[in-house]
Structure 1
Amino acid sequence: MTDLVPRPAAELSTDRRDPRDDWPDEAKHLRDHLAAIYGDDDPLPTIAGAWCARQRSKHTRRAYARNLIRWEDYARTSGIHPLQAKLPLADAYSNHLTTAPTMRRVKGGRVGETAPTGPPLSDSGRAQALAAAGSFYTYAVRVQAMDVDPFASVLRPRIDPDYSPTAGLLPEETAALIETARQHDARSYALVMLLYLLGPRIDELLSLDADQIGYSRGHHTLPLRLKGGKRKDSPLPPLAYDALLAYLGDRRTGPLFVTASGKRWAEPQVWKHLRMLARRAGIPQADSIKPHALRHAFITDNLADEVPLERVQDAVGHSDPRTTQRYNRRRRQLDDHPAYGLAARLAGRLQAEGDEPTA
């Protein structure tokens, strides 16, 4: 049998493929961002891009790239190349995240213009930022670009397993939001109905195209790409399907949800639109509501109706039932809080004392 041996370099085609062309867009953008700072000869841009490209879902790639850029900026402005970072700098960065303002869109500014005017990251946000940096350095060590991960020993924030930052909605508030969306226009109504009746994450919904509406075993379906890159057909209840068809009309091409100019509806635009609807619906937390509030309502309303936990968990794609139950526990912590009973008893005593005749 003829041995396989590498051919001399002179025999290789000069029209060679650049493997970076096969990266997802998020990895390419991260690489280009870093190359503009460090140049093409520095290994950091390519290592970071390759690390980003390995992540399974678009959502994870975007989040990891955003968090690596945050860390890179901190290291660079501290006078240290990220590939030369040590544990003391990583510890200092962890402390920095507790007070550093986050980026917010500039009102009245150019499209995409942001400024560091937001509140510091939450505990879960800091944990995610540190986890992203640690993931990058695990990869850098694996490809022998570094000897040690500087984030391996950094203390992570303690996350309360029962805490969810998403503000919940009462069933009547959800109904008011849906009715307001129905009166506003067909696109708003379809969006809110899908968010509430299917419980998807907003990026899962906005990434869909109109030609992905399917049919299987008597069900109209949408193929939602869940966290971790898994894809799952989710059935469309008649209310959601009818709302979607009323919005799409005869259109079956292009993004599922589009702007007036025909472009894919972006998450920041949806957040702004949903808050406008919430204000019109008279919802108290309108200015802080997120699309995730409707996913939250999907979970809590189903559990309140005694739908089995495992069915709700499967529907929303949670790998751990404790994640699903966390939404419900927060609702119960408020609804069943002993402060209400104590206040009622106090009010009764005050009323009794007020009814007693004075001397």
Structure 2
Amino acid sequence: MQEIRRYKPATISRRLSVVVGFYRTCLFDGLLDASPAEHVRRPHVPPESPTLGLSHPRGTVLRGWRCLSLQFEAMLHAARSSPNINDFALVTMLGLLGLRIFEACGADIEDLREEHGHRVLKVRGKGAKVVLTPLPPAVQRAIERAVDRRDAGPILRNRRQARMDRHAATRRLRHLAEDSDMSLPRIHPHMLRHTFVTTMLDAGVDLRDGQIAARHADPRTTMRYDRARKYLDRHPNYILAAYMASGT
């Protein structure tokens, strides 16, 4: 995987974990006396996320909580103007709700509901976990456009009016990137989720709240998305120096 297929360390580590778990189960069930994967060393996975989000102008806050990136704003404009009614919903579900691509493609019209005065979407995430995600007005409008007065079925559809899959979604995003003149070599759905997390943190959202919004089981996962942020500008050293300014 590393030398021939040139997979990234995170991909190799994730695949090896499946193999290790398989042999561990065989040990528990008494099918093997020892695990052949016990001493296999996994590659070092860097603590920061290798995925880059879309860039954004520092200090620009648009309509409250979100600080939209210039590139993401351009993609939103292209999706809103697209004749394909699914494009706007796809971009907002990934970039403004932070859904994983399989969560967005797996969302059904029946998952839309009202809860305590909020319009929400029932999201089926990793490990079959189900959460209710509130829909901002822009996302509501985008989804209503994609639903197109239907009563049932998938929210996102392909050109054959069947459920959109991750491959069709990736093609739509690349088409939108071309329409918006984005200078990105290879855009993929996870870049929008990455933008969702990093923009939230830049807008001042607490790490714990960001973890909940992104539905990360471990806060360290949320911190890995922090790679594109200028964290040195907000280093605690500056906060301490400002607090102690009277004595220095």
Report the TM range for the smaller structure's normalisation.
Answer: 0.7 to 0.9
* Deviation of 1:260 (Å): 2.4
**Alignment partner, residue 99 of structure 1:** 3
* Contact 2:92-2:139 at 8 Å conserved across structures: yes
Q: Deviations over 1:302-354 (max 9, x none)?
A: 11111111111101111222211221233327x97xxxxxxxxxxxxxxxxxx
**Alignment partner, residue 235 of structure 1:** 134
Q: 1:280 aligns with which of 161, 168, 179?
A: 179
* 3-state DSSP of counterpart to 1:288: coil
Residue 165 in structure 1 maps to residue 50 in structure 2:
yes
Q: 2:107 aligns with which of 208, 219, 225?
A: 208
Give, in whole Å, the separation in 1 of the partners of 2:137 and 2:46: 38
* Deviation of 1:252 (Å): 2.0
Residue 251 in structure 1 maps to residue 150 in structure 2:
yes
* Contact 1:271-1:291 at 8 Å conserved across structures: yes
* 3-state DSSP of counterpart to 1:214: strand
* 3-state DSSP of counterpart to 1:182: helix
Residue 222 in structure 1 maps to residue 107 in structure 2:
no
Residue 199 in structure 1 maps to residue 65 in structure 2:
no
* 3-state DSSP of counterpart to 2:36: coil
Q: Which has the larger radius of gyration?
A: 1
* Deviation of 1:251 (Å): 0.5
Output the amino acid matched with 1:138. R
* Deviation of 1:138 (Å): 1.0
Higher relative contact order (Cα pairs below 8 Å, separated by 6+ residues): 2
Give, in whole Å, the separation in 2 of the partners of 1:100 and 1:233: 42
* Contact 1:141-1:148 at 8 Å conserved across structures: yes
Give, in whole Å, the separation in 2 of the partners of 1:252 and 1:292: 29
Give, in whole Å, the separation in 1 of the partners of 2:110 and 2:161: 15
**Alignment partner, residue 201 of structure 2:** 303
Output the amino acid matched with 1:236. L
* Contact 1:168-1:331 at 8 Å conserved across structures: no
* 3-state DSSP of counterpart to 1:221: strand
Determine what percentage of the aligned residue pairs are the same residue. 33
Residue 188 in structure 1 maps to residue 87 in structure 2:
yes
* Contact 1:206-1:264 at 8 Å conserved across structures: yes
Output the amino acid matched with 2:142. A
* Contact 1:200-1:295 at 8 Å conserved across structures: yes
Return the TM-score normalized by structure 1. 0.59
Count, aligned residues? 219
Give, in whole Å, the separation in 1 of the partners of 2:159 and 2:193: 26
Unaligned runs of 5+ residues in structure 2 are: 56-68, 234-248
Residue 129 in structure 1 maps to residue 33 in structure 2:
no
**Alignment partner, residue 39 of structure 1:** none
* 3-state DSSP of counterpart to 1:198: coil
Residue 293 in structure 1 maps to residue 153 in structure 2:
no
Divergent runs of 4+, >4 A:
none
Q: CA RMSD in A?
A: 1.5
Give, in whole Å, the separation in 1 of the partners of 2:153 and 2:142: 18
Give, in whole Å, the separation in 2 of the partners of 1:331 and 1:277: 25
Give, in whole Å, the separation in 2 of the partners of 1:98 and 1:267: 25
* Deviation of 1:165 (Å): 2.1
Unaligned runs of 5+ residues in structure 1 are: 1-96, 102-119, 337-359
Output the amino acid matched with 2:167. P
* 3-state DSSP of counterpart to 2:35: coil
